[in-house]
Structure 1
Amino acid sequence: MFEEIYSPVQKITFAPFTNLFVKRDDLIDPYISGNKWRKLKYILAQAKAEHKTHLITFGGAYSNHLVATAAAASRSGLKSTAFVRGEEVKNEMLLLCRLFGMKLIFTDRQSYRDKQKLFEQHFANDEQAYFIDEGGASTEAIRGCAEIISELTGTYDHIFCAAGTSTTAAGLLKGIQQQGLHTKLHIIPVLKGGSFIKDEIEKYTPLSGQLELHLDYHFGGYAKTTPELIGFIKTFTAQTGLLLDPVYTAKMFYAIVDLQKQGIIRKDEKVLAIHTGGLMGLFGMKDKF
């Protein structure tokens, strides 16, 4: 099901930018969206190579990763189970997971911290079970995300991406290094204390002066927003026709605009933003709008 696919690059107009481009990974698939598609591509290939038929993964109640894994498993003829962090709830995301055939195991937050232990407790006797870490973090996911760079036909002075962990960021940096590009990679951590992402990236690929983290655009922390960010989303989408999610992509685009206002990015420089999808995250914040 993970045939070769290339998402388009679209130039958008949003004042004051004249050289802003977007890699539209959000268009890859409505349910296996953006970087989730990239991460799962080689994970599923590895699972099949090991003759595994049952995908076991982890996430919160509004996890795009859970929906993506459920959809990918269903289309591939595989079973799927997810440990869902926190008390049992019903929402749009988990409805989709169930419709795609995923079994949900709601897990208290303390137990959830040790994912490997949960896997062993529940699936030690299931020889078909295949462990997929939260968000798909793995060397296979890094490989998939690196292909974003190899697909580019143009050159850019700056590439931006939002990050909750390190997987997509590490893949992008690895891709830049593999292609021998001089592009600067800007990572926008969407949670407080995001400096750890640099250490995590280094586990997969050597760091370089091409990587820069901007730690001041988390808007209070993971899945946190402010009226200013919500206002930015409304203005941006109305002017560009491009949907953003409040958890990741909105914070990235806000940072791009702010960094140009500060003169850190010149108006004549070409900027590429990686739209990592995740638009169903809007469901979890519908009351903010």
Structure 2
Amino acid sequence: MGPVTSPVPPDPATLQPCLPSPLQEIEDPPFARRGVRLLLKRDDLIHPDLPGNKWRKLEPNLRAAAAAGARALLTFGGAYSNHLRATAAAGRLLGFTTIGVVRGDELADAPLNPSLARCAADGMRLHFVDRGTYRRKTAPDVIAALHDRFGAFQVIPEGGSNALAAQSCSQLGRELCRAADTVAVACGTGGTLAGLAAGLGLGQSALGFPVLKGGSPHFLQETVEELQRAAFGGRCGDWRLDDRFHCGGYARRTPELDAFADAFEDRHRLPLERVYVAKLLLGLTTLADEGAFPPGSTVAAVITGSP
């Protein structure tokens, strides 16, 4: 049986973000002793329910779904996916029915963690699949089986990352044009980095910190390049990846990460989201200690989520 949909067509124009998001300079010892300025691009303040890159990537996909007459959205994510939470919130706010395909059928009989509980509270129907099926999630037979189960829906890709999302995230780069020499972001599916790098100006570079432990050291680089080809016609902007700070994989944590995040929170009274933001700042702090940023330069960290 298909999902029950709202009789009122969803209107993404009703989402009112706070743009551009503010820049916050903080004095942090590992940067200050190297003569480097640290700025935080507070994208977590864009929208209370769709913070940061989630709003930037979802908004054009929501507009496309509404224009196509879709009333239901289906998307994919892991057990701690911020993208699933944001899609569920968008459904609640706009009247879309939402379906979340969750990696790991072993989770189906377990109590919902806070992220999935929030999705369910916002009306998302959760569908757990085994990891093998999840790897094939976009295969025609898998999508056909999902249509048989849930009826008509518009697919939004995992993480919301596609050409539309990358084009939208290029605005993030334009907002940071001339603000910093290096702009860094934590990466899940690569869409934010693809757009960010395209929007930055001459002399600026983008730095991505993958939060997943990939199957090969180049897995996300190839993904970002593919997104840029689809969105902009080819690789663009000066960007690179540093994959040393995933801490074991998505939503994994280490004592080093927790100790770093606790100390940073104590110094600045700024709660750090641990899946993305803490890993981003751990990576930047390590690079500062290594002397990777020249004295007198400015580094901006894109804060893409909140705890």
Is contact 1:161-1:252 (8 Å) kept? yes
- Taking structure 1 as the reference length, the TM-score comes to 0.88
Is contact 1:260-1:267 (8 Å) kept? no
Question: In the alignment, what sits opposite 1:200?
Answer: 223
Alpha-carbon distance between aligned partners in 2 of 1:58 and 1:48, rounded to the nearest angstrom:
19
Deviates more, 1:55-64 or 1:126-135: 126-135
The yes-or-no answer on 1:101 pairing with 2:160 is no
Question: In the alignment, what sits opposite 1:158?
Answer: 182
Is contact 1:9-1:24 (8 Å) kept? yes
Alpha-carbon distance between aligned partners in 2 of 1:219 and 1:104, rounded to the nearest angstrom:
27
* Shift in CA distance, 166/153, structure 1 to aligned 2, threshold 3 Å: closer
Q: Which amino acid aligns with 2:219?
A: F
Post-superposition shift, 1:156?
1.0
Match of 1:263 among 259, 266, 291: 291
Question: In the alignment, what sits opposite 1:240?
Answer: 268
Gaps of 5+ in 1: 281-289
Question: In the alignment, what sits opposite 1:287?
Answer: none
Gaps of 5+ in 2: 1-13, 229-233
Deviates more, 1:207-216 or 1:248-257: 207-216
Question: In the alignment, what sits opposite 2:65?
Answer: 47
Post-superposition shift, 1:29?
2.5
The yes-or-no answer on 1:190 pairing with 2:214 is no
Q: Give aligned-pair identity as a percent.
A: 39
Alpha-carbon distance between aligned partners in 1 of 2:283 and 2:225, rounded to the nearest angstrom:
23
Post-superposition shift, 1:28?
1.8
Question: In the alignment, what sits opposite 2:22?
Answer: 8
Match of 1:175 among 185, 196, 199: 199
Alpha-carbon distance between aligned partners in 2 of 1:127 and 1:105, rounded to the nearest angstrom:
14
Alpha-carbon distance between aligned partners in 2 of 1:215 and 1:107, rounded to the nearest angstrom:
28
The yes-or-no answer on 1:224 pairing with 2:252 is yes
* Shift in CA distance, 210/124, structure 1 to aligned 2, threshold 3 Å: same
Is contact 1:195-1:213 (8 Å) kept? no
* Shift in CA distance, 58/208, structure 1 to aligned 2, threshold 3 Å: closer
Alpha-carbon distance between aligned partners in 2 of 1:23 and 1:201, rounded to the nearest angstrom:
21
Alpha-carbon distance between aligned partners in 1 of 2:149 and 2:266, rounded to the nearest angstrom:
52
* Shift in CA distance, 145/208, structure 1 to aligned 2, threshold 3 Å: closer
Is contact 2:71-2:96 (8 Å) kept? yes
Post-superposition shift, 1:241?
1.8
DSSP-derived class of the 1:61 partner: coil
Alpha-carbon distance between aligned partners in 2 of 1:125 and 1:235, rounded to the nearest angstrom:
47
DSSP-derived class of the 1:72 partner: helix
Segments ≥4 residues shifted beyond 4 Å: 124-128
Alpha-carbon distance between aligned partners in 1 of 2:75 and 2:148, rounded to the nearest angstrom:
15
Tell me the C-alpha RMSD between the 2 structures.
Answer: 2.0
Is contact 1:17-1:267 (8 Å) kept? no
* Shift in CA distance, 153/204, structure 1 to aligned 2, threshold 3 Å: closer
Q: Which amino acid aligns with 1:187?
A: G
Instruction: Give the number of aligned pairs.
Output: 276
1:103-182 to 2 correspondences below 5 Å: 103-116=125-138, 117-123=141-147, 128-152=152-176, 154-176=178-200, 180-182=201-203
Deviates more, 1:114-123 or 1:41-50: 114-123
Match of 1:37 among 25, 50, 55: 55
Post-superposition shift, 1:47?
0.2
